[in-house]
Structures are given as structure tokens and as C-alpha cells.
Structure 1
Amino acid sequence: MAIQSLNPTTGKVEKTFDAISKEMLETKLAKAEETFHMWKNTSFSERARLLHAAAEEMKTNARAYGEIITTEMGKPIAQATSEVEKCAWNCEHYADNGEAYLRREPIQTEASESYVQYDPLGVILLVMPWNFPFWQVFRMAAPVIMAGNTVVLKHASNVPQSALACEQVFRNAGFPEGVFQTLLVGSSDVETILRDRRVKGVSLTGSEKAGSIVAGIAGKEIKPVVMELGGSDPFIILEDADIQLTCEQAKISRLLNGGQVCISAKRFLVHSSRAEEFTSKLKDIFEGYTVGNPMDETTQMGPMSSESGLRDIARQVKESVDIGATVLTGGKQLERDGFFYTPTILTHVTPDMPAWREETFGPVATVMTFDTVDEAIELANDSSFGLGASLFTNNMKLAKEIIPRIESGMVFVNGFVKTDPRLPTGGIKRSGVGRELGFAGIRAFTNMKTVWIK
């Protein structure tokens, strides 16, 4: 697969890169290991100082970095700039809280002293996707590096300029050479890198297929993994929900980043008594959405990131309509250059349809109704995925009874699912293993060492 920036707004190649040689890969891995033996002995205060410098670098140059993101994958510039700023927040969070997250935990035993401490592991491989070219990298790199590890990044092959820009952030912030390195390599090289004795673990965000392959390799090598894979998140609207609020939250959750978000709501489950009101309001919102040039500050949604992504979402809609779904609005490609698809709502959806059964990675909301809470929960759990879920109700007692019954790694009540540096993020079932962010994110690639002293 070519390592190139193909602008999804125009369909034209912006820049092409050669993959690094085997010799250069060896040099970079050797440097990562060499640097680790120095970096693990640096103080938390020094690591924090450099992470704050990285945050400042991104805040100062958020627009410039955002333009790289928008050019490569089509995210509206306002969202791209916000993504870079969120990465800065993440760096600041771990700079300010990393030491506390990794503080020794005393445990009372018959020993004179016993405790658990968290030691870094070594070189950690990040395999990251294109949909949030900065955020996916920094949300894992910041805690991994703060913990004393070093990082090598294999980014998606369609965002090489973003990958190199991530490395530039660390370089401009003053990090020692080798703490963070981008590897311009193809997917076929991931196995070689992961099997290398110097690489001690892997974090992957991506497809279920990619996750399964990488997890298999890591399993054979007995190396820890953290994975966030696909999602088909339910968005449950109970009878007493505030419909105006739900529609505003649904709009953001389903159309942010062109719907190309693992944790976005994809299956909208609405109490039958509120379905007409919800779909009518949501239809008006979708039809009023500004779709166009993502470099325009007023654009709300840009193109799909690739032609293959456009084809896939169009297939899911067509196949679902062919067996009974109704297109309430949208359902077509825009007649212009680039890979644009209209915000779409499908009703009369059934569980056997691709738009329900598969992950819809695009601006398509599927709507299904229910009559009882038990039915809503059954529908919500009717998926091989278990990443996140949203629940809308004014009855907090009922909400807290429902939360344990939902099969997902995250449940948000009266809000859409989103990532936050302070909260662990991750899924169950085929949505992944392990957790990123929060205290869990920084401990993911550490040795939880038990110490017993008599």
C-alpha cells in the first residue's frame, strides 16, 4: 500500500513518501531501546516539563497542525484544530497527574513493608488509525512516555504527514531523540516490529480485523496489548427523555468527523411514543447541516476520508434499503469532486440489516423503536461490539438500574460518549481489550511490581 497523502476533498494525491529501509528501521528500534535505558531514570518532574512543552507547542501551532489533518483526511478545520488542542490538554493532564497515578501503593501484610510499584516496560509500539490522526497518537503516547517508556509509531498509511508532524511536536518540545519516533512502514512490517525482542508491548486502535491479527502476534510473543476496535454504539431514548437535548447530542455524536468515529452513536433506539418527534427534529437538523470544503470555517462536515470508505457506507445503506429500510433523508453521494456523502437517517431498520449488524463508519443514523425498557436493553446488547452507549432519561434511579445491564465499556447518561483524559476509555466483546486514558492509561504498559520486605 502506498504511503501517501490523498486529499479526500479533491481526490488528488498531495504527497508520496518512501517507506524506510530495513536498515533504517533497525537504527530506529535500536535508538528507541537505547533511549529507554536513559529515559526510565529521568524524574517525573523532567518528564512533566517536557510534556508541558509539547502541549504548548500544539496550542501555539494548533491551526497549522490542524491544516495537515484536514488536508489528509477531510475533517473540518475547526474540528481538526480542536483535536490538536485536546492533545495538548491530554499532555497537560499526564504531566500534572502522572506521578500520582504511578505512586507506590502500600498494602498491609505481615511483612515489615509491602507495596505495589509501577515500573516502565521499554519500547512500546503504537499502531494508529487515520480518523483522529493526532488524538489517537497523543492519547496513548503521553501516558506511555510519562510512565518512562519510549514509543515507536506506525500510523495509517494515508496520513504520513500527520505521523511526521506528531514526531515534530516531540522534537520541538525538546524531548531526547528516541523517546518518540515515527516509522514510515507498511502494514506488513508490523509483525516484524512486534516480534522484535526490544518491543515490549503494543497499542492498536483500528478495525476488528487488524486488532485480531495484531493480538494474535502479541499473544504468541507474550506481550501486553491495549486495543480499541470497532463500535456500534446504541443511543437509547426513553419515554421521558428531553427530545431537544437528545437531538442536539445525536447530531454531534453521529455527524462529528463525518461519522467516522469508533465511539459515535450508530444505532438509535427510541421509545415508540417519542419516535416521530425525534426523527422529525433530527431530520431537520441533518438537512440543515453544511457539507462542503473542510478548510472553510463554516463547514460542519467534510468528505469521507477515502473512496473505499464512501463505497462501503453507500453499500450498507443500499443493502439495508433493499431489504426494507427507509431513507428518511440523505442516502446519496454528493455530485462533486471528492468523497462526500449526505447526512442520512434510516428508519424501519431491523437487526438483520447491514446498517444495524455492521459498524457504519460514516454519517448514517439507523433508527429502531421499542416499547419497554427490557426491549431497549435487549436491542442495545444485540451486537458483537461493546464500546460505548448513551442513555437519555430524566429518571436517574432507572438509569442507574439500566447501566449494569448494558454490555459496553462506557455508558453516558444524557450525553454522547466522548473521550476525556481523566476517564478510562475502552470496550468489551469485539470492541477491544484494556483501557486508555485516566489512571488505567498510564498503567497499561508498566510492570505492576509486588514488593515484600521483612
Structure 2
Amino acid sequence: MPIATVNPADGETLKTFDPHPGEEVERRLAEADRAFRTYRSTSFEERARLLNAAADLLEREAAEIARVMTTEMGKTFAAAKAEAAKCVKAMRWYAAHAEGLLADEHPAGADVKDSGAVSAHVHYRPLGPVLAVMPWNFPLWQVIRFAAPALMAGNVGLLKHASNVPQTALYLGELFRRAGFPEGCFQTLLVSSGAIEGVLRDPRVVAATLTGSEPAGRSVASIAADEIKKTVLELGGSDPYIVMPSADVEAAARTAVTARVQNNGQSCIAAKRFLVHTEIYDAFAELFAAGMRELTVGDPMAAATDVGPLSSEQGRADLEELVADAVVQGAEALCGGRRPPGFERGWFYEPTVLTGVTDRMRIHREEAFGPVATLYRVRDLDDAVALANDTPFGLSSNVWTRDEAEVDRFVRDLEAGGVFVNGMTASHPALPFGGVKRSGYGRELAGHGIREFCNMTTVWRA
């Protein structure tokens, strides 16, 4: 795939970039190694000052970088500005809380007496240069949620971003330099996916984090395993959205629309499978389909637009194949199911609700990365849990119920990294984020995320 900005709203190639040659990659690896040797010893106060300076820059430039994101991957301008604001919030949160999150841990004295120690504690130390392989769908947020905790922990970062968001990638590399971070603390590697293996196998790179597809995660994890290097993976999702009879059906249906089409439907934590109790199924289906029909598809820069284009022509083709496979096997589209009329250019697709989905259909097992929802009727609580877990993914989940016993059951039995009750899944810097099964392993954000790339050192004194 070429490294280029191709506007998904019209298919026009706006800018192309030459990948960094081998000697430039080597220079940046050496720079990262040198930077870590000194940056690791900086104080939390100094790191926080630098990260807050980066947050200030991003806040001032939010509209500018939002336009770049919209042009590169098609999210609405309003969503892009909200993404930039969320990044600022996360940077300031880690600047304020990192020192406390990484404070030495002292077990009670009685707990260490049997070891012969007078005292013992756990000390958190940075690991070194970490490679971040990041996707295009949240081109700013996915990077910042790694970079903010990694830099506050004393690590340095090397970013290999998706090839269709090169301008966002270059902006991120410059953001931290302009904020005053020492040279080499955070650098963008403008390289193809084929160059990842060489970078990851380099002994100066100590770990990797990847957000992206299951095949990409499998590839990076296998290389890192061969090198015995730590990885964190956040991969695909096919999140269930369960609605039980005690729920506020109107609120659940209204939120369901947003939960499905956020980021033009291209979000790993977007609700994708809607599991509705038979008692309220018809009412929910009518409200949900009506809400999806009312959405405005169009120019992502326009204030009235709810859903912009998919990020690529191939992405739309993949989505169309999933829908066609389901329809030919008996699924019915309550709405959508086609390219919107009047859009000869760009990679647009109508918000779609499919019913009659069975386990023979690809869309039952595969992630639909676009504004397509699958709607299921469930008999009872047991049926809802079983169907929710009938997926290779386990990123997050949404449950709508006023019954606390049902909430307890969902929290206990849903195979997912999150359970969001009477609301839609969202990420927040204070809450750990990640999944199970083929959605990956490890956690980002919160204290759990900042510790992923730390050496947890036991210090024992006799």
C-alpha cells in the first residue's frame, strides 16, 4: 500500500510520501536508544511539564489537525475535533496522575517477614524504546493513549502508523518535539508494513504495542515472541448490545444508533450485534431502524453530516461482501444495504440493519467494519449470554436492563474486557481498556496501561 493521503470522500490522491530509507530508520533507532539513556532519569515533574506543553499545542491546533484527519480517513469534522479534545484530556490526566500510578508499592511488614527481609517494595522502571503499530480509524487517539503513559513512565516511542494517514503520523512526531521533549523521545517511522519485522527484531526496541486487525496482531505477536519481547494487542471486536425487557427501550434504541455508527461505523468498540429480548424486539427494531434511516450521509466536513465515507474502497468492498453473503442466505435489510444514491465518487455506504442473521453467515463471525448492524431476537437471559459469547472476539459489551440480578449475571458471564450498563462503550483515561479472546491481550489506559511497559522490580533488603 502506498504511503499517501487519499480523500475517501472523493477518491482523490492529495499527497504521496516516500518511505524512510533504511539509513533514516537506523538513524531514528539510534536516536531513540540515545534518548532513552537520559530521558529515563528525568523526574515526573519534568515529564508532566513536557506532556502538558504538548497538550497545550494540540488544544490550540485541534481544528487544524481535525481537518487533516477528516481528509485522510473520512471521519466527520465534528468527530475529529472531539477526538483531538479527548487526546488533550488524556495527556493532562497522565501528566497529573502518572507519578501516583507508578509510586513504589510497599507491602505490609508482616507480609515480607517470612522472606527474611527487613523491608521490601516494588519499584516501577521504564523498559526502553517501544514500537507502536497504530491504525487509521482513530489516528490521533490510538497513538496518544499509548504515547502519554509511555512517555510519563520514562519510555520512548517509535510510531509506525497506518499508510493512509501519513500527515497525522508526521504531525504526531513533530508535536512532542515542538513541546520540548528531547530529540528521539517520540519519532514517526514513515515505512511500509514490510519494514515492521526488521524494526521489531532490532535489539534496541524492547517491546511493541499494536492496535489493528487480527492478522496484523498475529504477525507482530509472533515476531515479538520469537524475540521474547513484551507486546500489548488491541484487535477487532464484535461487541454485543443486549436489551432486556426492563430497559428504557427508547433510550436504548436512540443510543444504539450512535453506538453503531460512531466513526462511520469503523470502531473496534462500536456495538455491532444487537441482541434484543423477544418481548420488546418489535418496538426496538422499529425505533432502531427509523433512527438509522434518519442519519445524514455525506461530506464529512459538513456540519449536518452524521456518517461520512468509509476509509477506503477496499473497506467498502469488504463490507458489501459481508452484507451480500448474509442477504443471499436469507437475511433481510430493514434499512440500507447499498451504496447511497447520488454518490458516484467516494466510498460511502448507507447505515444498515440486518435481521434474520444465522451462524452460517460470515457476518455472524466476522467483524463488520462500517455502519452495518445485525439484529437478533433472544428468548431470555441465558439465550442472550450464549449468543453474546458466540463470537471469536471479546472486546467490550453493552447491556440495557434495570434488573440488578441481570447486571450481576452479565458482569459475571460475558466474555469481554468491559461491560457497559445502560450506555454505550467508550474509553476513558482513568479506566483500563482491552479485550480477551481474539480481541487481544494486555490493557491500555489507567494504571494498568502505564504499567504494561514498566519493569516491575522487587527491591528486597535484609
TM class by smaller structure: over 0.9
| Alpha-carbon distance, 1:334 to partner | 2.2
* Aligned position for 1:173: 179
Q: Which shows bigger deviation, 391-400 or 207-216? A: 391-400
Match of 1:331 among 318, 327, 337: 337
TM-score, normalisation: structure 1: 0.99
Match of 2:230 among 209, 224, 229: 224
* Aligned position for 2:83: 83
Residue 362 of structure 2 corresponds to residue 354 of structure 1 = yes
Residue 363 of structure 2 corresponds to residue 344 of structure 1 = no
* Aligned position for 1:297: 303
| Alpha-carbon distance, 1:397 to partner | 2.9
| Alpha-carbon distance, 1:28 to partner | 0.2
Residue 271 of structure 2 corresponds to residue 265 of structure 1 = yes
* Aligned position for 2:248: 242
* Aligned position for 1:22: 22
Contact preservation (8 Å) 1:345, 1:364: yes
CA distance in 1, matches of 2:278, 2:391: 21
| Alpha-carbon distance, 1:106 to partner | 0.5
| Alpha-carbon distance, 1:283 to partner | 1.3
The letter of the residue matching 1:49 is: R
Residue 192 of structure 2 corresponds to residue 186 of structure 1 = yes
Q: Which shows bigger deviation, 220-229 or 332-341? A: 332-341
| Alpha-carbon distance, 1:101 to partner | 0.5
The letter of the residue matching 2:391 is: S
Match of 1:409 among 410, 414, 417: 417
Contact preservation (8 Å) 2:427, 2:433: yes
The letter of the residue matching 1:20 is: H
Q: Aligned to 1:104, what secondary structure does the other structure show?
A: coil
Residue 382 of structure 2 corresponds to residue 382 of structure 1 = no
CA distance in 1, matches of 2:57, 2:249: 41
Q: Aligned to 1:388, what secondary structure does the other structure show?
A: coil
Contact preservation (8 Å) 2:254, 2:287: no
User: 1:361-372, aligned counterparts within 5 Å?
Assistant: 361-372=369-380
Contact preservation (8 Å) 1:9, 1:339: yes
Instruction: Report Cα offsets for 1:252-276 as digits up to 9, x if no partner.
Output: 1100111100011100000011111
Residue 149 of structure 2 corresponds to residue 143 of structure 1 = yes
User: 1:21-40, aligned counterparts within 5 Å?
Assistant: 21-40=21-40
Contact preservation (8 Å) 2:197, 2:223: yes
| Alpha-carbon distance, 1:402 to partner | 2.2
User: 1:307-322, aligned counterparts within 5 Å?
Assistant: 307-322=313-328
| Alpha-carbon distance, 1:355 to partner | 1.8
Contact preservation (8 Å) 1:207, 1:229: yes
Unaligned runs of 5+ in 2: none
* Aligned position for 1:199: 205
Instruction: Report Cα offsets for 1:276-321 as digits up to 9, x if no partner.
Output: 1111111111111011001112211100000000001111001001
Contact preservation (8 Å) 2:319, 2:368: yes
CA distance in 1, matches of 2:390, 2:405: 24
CA distance in 2, matches of 1:399, 1:217: 40
| Alpha-carbon distance, 1:72 to partner | 0.1
Contact preservation (8 Å) 1:350, 1:368: no
Residue 228 of structure 2 corresponds to residue 233 of structure 1 = no
Residue 417 of structure 2 corresponds to residue 447 of structure 1 = no
| Alpha-carbon distance, 1:396 to partner | 2.0
Q: Aligned to 2:255, what secondary structure does the other structure show?
A: helix
The letter of the residue matching 2:255 is: Q
Residue 289 of structure 2 corresponds to residue 283 of structure 1 = yes
CA distance in 2, matches of 1:416, 1:89: 20
CA distance in 2, matches of 1:442, 1:58: 21
Q: Aligned to 1:377, what secondary structure does the other structure show?
A: helix
Q: Aligned to 1:105, what secondary structure does the other structure show?
A: coil
Q: Aligned to 1:410, what secondary structure does the other structure show?
A: coil
Q: What is the CA RMSD across the aligned residues, in angstroms?
A: 0.8
The letter of the residue matching 1:30 is: A
The letter of the residue matching 1:178 is: G
Instruction: Report Cα offsets for 1:173-198 as digits up to 9, x if no partner.
Output: 12111110000000000000000000
| Alpha-carbon distance, 1:351 to partner | 2.0
Contact preservation (8 Å) 1:128, 1:156: yes
CA distance in 1, matches of 2:129, 2:94: 19
Contact preservation (8 Å) 1:268, 1:367: yes
Instruction: Report Cα offsets for 1:324-364 as digits up to 9, x if no partner.
Output: 10000000012411000000000111122122111000000
| Alpha-carbon distance, 1:404 to partner | 1.0
CA distance in 2, matches of 1:283, 1:273: 17
Contact preservation (8 Å) 2:381, 2:406: no
| Alpha-carbon distance, 1:229 to partner | 0.3
The letter of the residue matching 2:266 is: Q
Residue 48 of structure 2 corresponds to residue 48 of structure 1 = yes
Q: Aligned to 2:419, what secondary structure does the other structure show?
A: strand
Residue 57 of structure 2 corresponds to residue 61 of structure 1 = no
The letter of the residue matching 2:100 is: A
The letter of the residue matching 1:359 is: E
* Aligned position for 2:70: 70
* Aligned position for 2:121: 115
CA distance in 2, matches of 1:124, 1:423: 22
Instruction: Report Cα offsets for 1:140-166 as digits up to 9, x if no partner.
Output: 110011000000000000100010111
| Total equivalences in the alignment | 454
The letter of the residue matching 2:426 is: K
TM-score, normalisation: structure 2: 0.97
Q: Aligned to 2:382, what secondary structure does the other structure show?
A: helix
Q: Which shows bigger deviation, 362-371 or 350-359? A: 350-359
| Alpha-carbon distance, 1:398 to partner | 2.1
Unaligned runs of 5+ in 1: none
Contact preservation (8 Å) 1:258, 1:304: yes
Q: Aligned to 1:28, what secondary structure does the other structure show?
A: helix
State the identity %.
48
* Aligned position for 1:164: 170
Instruction: Report Cα offsets for 1:213-242 as digits up to 9, x if no partner.
Output: 100000010100001001000001111111
The letter of the residue matching 1:266 is: K
Instruction: Report Cα offsets for 1:114-138 as digits up to 9, x if no partner.
Output: 0111100000000000000000000
* Aligned position for 1:425: 433
CA distance in 2, matches of 1:398, 1:73: 39
CA distance in 1, matches of 2:303, 2:188: 30
CA distance in 1, matches of 2:208, 2:191: 16
